[in-house]
């Protein structure tokens, strides 16, 4: 609803809004407010870049799956694997 209101403002209405802001804050305060806003945007962009870099640079680790009870019991017909191969 607010975006529709801003779409209907013409040139004179914007001038009146700017004059009202000038009267409320004064000519000396407006550059300070703009500087603070610029610094805030700069910090926000820096923080979002750091977060995206951290997400992209984290190593993807494969989760280790713990064997369940059913997976541990093997049928008798299978050959068990030894870590030591037979010597010839």
Residue 74 banded pLDDT, cuts 50, 70, 90 = low
DSSP annotation string for 26-77:
-TTHHHHHHHHHHHHHHHHHHHHHHHHHHHHHSPPPPPPPPP-HHHH---TT
59: pLDDT strictly greater than 90: no
The model's pTM? 0.44
Of 72 and 38, the structure prediction assigns the larger pLDDT to 38
Residue 57 banded pLDDT, cuts 50, 70, 90 = confident
**Spatial separation of the C-alpha atoms in residues 59 and 76, rounded to whole Å:** 40
The token pair at 76 is 């008798």
Which structural domain range is residue 36 located in? 27-55
Number of structural domains, the chain?
A: 1
Q: Is residue 80 part of a domain?
A: no
Q: Is residue 40 part of a domain?
A: yes
76: pLDDT strictly greater than 60: no
Residue 42 banded pLDDT, cuts 50, 70, 90 = very high
- State percent of the chain over pLDDT 70: 61
Q: Is residue 35 part of a domain?
A: yes
């Amino acid at each position: 609803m607010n975006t529709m209101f801003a779409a209907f403002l013409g040139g004179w209405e914007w001038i009146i809004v700017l004059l009202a802001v000038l009267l409320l804050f004064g000519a000396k305060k407006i550059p300070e407010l703009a500087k603070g806003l610029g610094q805030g945007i700069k910090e926000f962009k820096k923080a979002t870049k750091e977060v995206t870099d951290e997400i992209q640079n984290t190593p993807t680790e494969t989760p280790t799956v713990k064997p369940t009870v059913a997976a541990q019991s093997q049928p008798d017909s299978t050959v068990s694997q030894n870590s030591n191969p037979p010597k010839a």
